[in-house]
Chains A and B, each alone.
Chain A
Amino acid sequence: MEPFEPVIIAFVCNWCTYTAADLAGTSRLSYPTNIRLIRVMCTGMVDPQYVIKAFLEGADGVLISGCHPGDCHYINGNYKARRRIKLLKEILPRFGIEKDRLRLTWIGASDGIEFAEIMTQINDQIIEMGPSQTRLNKAI
Chain B
Amino acid sequence: MNKAIGRTVVAGAGLSGIRSALDLAETGYKVLLIDTSDHIGGLLCQLDHQFPTSTCGYCRMLPMFDRDRSSQHCLRKGLVHENIDILLSTELISVEGEPGDLTVTLKQTPSLIDPDLCTGCGECETVCPVFVNDAFNEGLTKRKAIYLPSPQSFANAYTIDYAACTRCGECEKICPTGAVKFIEQDRETFKILVVDDEKIVRDSMKEWLKEEGFSVSTADSGQTALDLMGSQSFNMMLTDIKMPGMDGVALLTKAKQINEDLCVIMMTAYAEVDSAVGAMKQGALDYLTKPFDPDVLISMVVKIYHEFEIAEARVEKVDALILSGGTQFFRPELGKNSYGYGVLPGVITGLEFERLISGTGPGLDPGSGRLLHPQTGKPVRKMAWIQCVGSRDVHSGASFCSSVCCMISIKEAILAKEKFGRDLETTIFYMDMRTIGKTFDGYRLTAQEEKGVRFVRARIHSLSQDSQHADKGLHARYVDLGGIVHEEDFDLVVLATGQRPNQQMADLAAKNSIGTNAWGFIETQPFSMTRTSRAGILSGGSLSGLKDISESVTCSSAAALGACKVMHAAGKRRRPESDGEIPVDLARETPRILTVLCRCGSDFSKKLDVEVLEAGLARIPEIESLEIMDNLCTEEGWTTLIEMIEKKMPNRLVLGSCLSCSHKQKIKQLETSTGLASNLIETMDMVSVLKRYPGSHIREATQGIERELKILISKSRFKNPVPMERVASNQAALVIGGGIAGITSALSIADCGYHVDLIEKGESIGGNLLWMDKTVDGLDIQAYLDECVKRLESHEQITIHKQTRVASTAQRPGEFATVLQHEDKGHQTLLHGVTILATGGNQAPLEPAVGDSQYNVFTQKEFEMAIQDQTIHPEQLNSVVMIQCSGTRDERRNYCSRICCIRALKNALFLKEKNSDTQVYILYRDMMSYGFFEDYYTRAKTLGVIFFQYDLENKPVTEFTDGHCLVKTHDLLLDMPVEIEADCVIHATGILPDLPEALADQYGAALDGFHFFKEADSKFRPVDSMNYRVFSCGLSLKPCTIEEAVSSAEAAAIRAVRVLAHERLVSGKTVATTRTATCSLCEMCVDTCPYGARFVDSLEEKIVIDPAACQGCGVCAAVCPSGSAVLEGLGSQQMLDAIDMALS
Contacts and interface: CB of A to CB of B under 8 A. Distances in A.
Interface residues of A, number: 52
B1113 A57 contact: no
Nearest to A21: B688
B1138 interface: yes
A15 B366 CA distance: 24
A110 B151 contact: yes
Interface centre among A20, A27, A84, A110 (most CB of B within 10 A): A110
Interface stretch (B51-59, B477-485, B864-872, B990-998): B51-59
Given A38-B1139, A53-B1139, A25 B76 contact: no
B73 A45 contact: no
Contact of A76 (B685, B1070, B1090, B1140): B1090
B1143 A44 contact: no
A47 interface: yes
Contact of A26 (B120, B358, B1017, B1130): B120
Contacts of B1142: 9, 36, 38, 54
Contacts of B1138: 38
Given A38-B1138, A74-B1090, A112-B360, A15 B74 contact: yes
Interface in A3-58: 7, 9, 14-16, 18-20, 22-23, 25-28, 30-31, 33, 36, 38, 40-42, 44-47, 49-50, 53-54, 57-58
B175 interface: no
A74 B1090 CA distance: 7
A112 B74 contact: no
A59 interface: yes
Interface string A88-122: 00000000000000000000111111100100000
A70 B465 CA distance: 41
A64 B859 CA distance: 55
Contacts of A41: 1070, 1112-1114, 1127, 1130
Interface centre among A31, A33, A111 (most CB of B within 10 A): A33
B152 A109 contact: yes
B1118 A46 contact: yes
A80 interface: yes
Interface string B1072-1089: 000000000000000010
A114 B72 CA distance: 23
B505 to A, nearest CB: 28
A57 to B, nearest CB: 5
Contact of B1136 (A22, A28, A50): A50
A44 B1115 contact: yes
Contacts of B72: 14
Interface string B74-107: 1011000000000000000000000000000000
Contacts of B1114: 40-42, 44-45
B1127 A110 contact: no
Interface centre among B120, B692, B1139 (most CB of A within 10 A): B1139
Contact of A28 (B122, B700, B1016, B1115): B122
Interface string B137-178: 000000000001001100010000000000000000000000
A113 B56 contact: no
B1115 A38 contact: no
B1143 A9 contact: yes
Contacts of B700: 33
A73 interface: yes
Interface in B1056-1101: 1070, 1088, 1090
Given A28-B122, A113-B364, A74 B1113 contact: yes
A58 B1140 CA distance: 9
A90 B425 CA distance: 39
Contacts of B1139: 9, 38, 50, 53-54, 57
B24 to A, nearest CB: 23
A40 B1132 CA distance: 11
B1117 interface: yes
A110 B1136 contact: no
Contacts of B1119: 80
Contacts of B1117: 45, 47
A71 B57 CA distance: 6
A31 B54 contact: no
A102 to B, nearest CB: 14
A136 interface: no
Nearest to B1068: A41
Contacts of A50: 1132, 1135-1136, 1139
A110 B354 CA distance: 12
Contact of A44 (B56, B366, B1113): B1113
A25 B707 CA distance: 17
Contacts of A53: 1136, 1139
Contacts of B152: 19, 22-23, 26, 109-110
Contacts of A76: 1090
A33 B1138 CA distance: 17
B55 A26 contact: no
Given A28-B122, A49-B1132, A74 B359 contact: no
A140 interface: no
Contacts of B48: 108, 110
A28 B1143 contact: no
A33 B693 CA distance: 7
B294 interface: no
A36 B707 contact: yes
B694 interface: yes
B900 interface: no
A66 to B, nearest CB: 11
Given A38-B1138, A38-B1139, A71 B1130 contact: no
B151 A40 contact: no
B704 interface: yes
A82 interface: no
B53 A70 contact: yes
Given A14-B72, A110-B358, A45 B1115 contact: yes
B187 interface: no
B688 to A, nearest CB: 4
B873 interface: no
Interface in B659-695: 685, 688-689, 691-694
A112 B361 CA distance: 10
Contacts of A44: 1113-1115, 1118
B54 A70 contact: yes
B554 interface: no
A14 B1068 CA distance: 15
Contacts of B156: 26
B359 to A, nearest CB: 4
Interface centre among A40, A44, A45, A77 (most CB of B within 10 A): A45
A15 B688 CA distance: 17
Interface in A57-88: 57-59, 68-71, 73-77, 80, 84
Given A14-B72, A45-B1130, A50-B1139, A30 B692 contact: yes
B359 A77 contact: no
B1111 interface: yes
A78 B1055 CA distance: 27
Given A9-B1139, A70-B54, A19 B359 contact: no
B148 A38 contact: no
B70 to A, nearest CB: 13
29 contacts: A7-B1143, A14-B72, A15-B59, A19-B73, A19-B74, A20-B359, A22-B688, A28-B122, A33-B700, A36-B707, A38-B1135, A38-B1142, A41-B1114, A42-B1114, A45-B1113, A46-B1118, A50-B1135, A57-B1143, A69-B55, A73-B57, A73-B59, A73-B1111, A80-B1118, A108-B56, A109-B152, A109-B359, A112-B360, A113-B359, A113-B360
Given A54-B1143, A71-B55, 7 more contacts: A14-B72, A20-B359, A30-B692, A38-B1138, A47-B1117, A54-B1142, A70-B55
Interface of A: 7, 9, 14-16, 18-20, 22-23, 25-28, 30-31, 33, 36, 38, 40-42, 44-47, 49-50, 53-54, 57-59, 68-71, 73-77, 80, 84, 108-114, 117
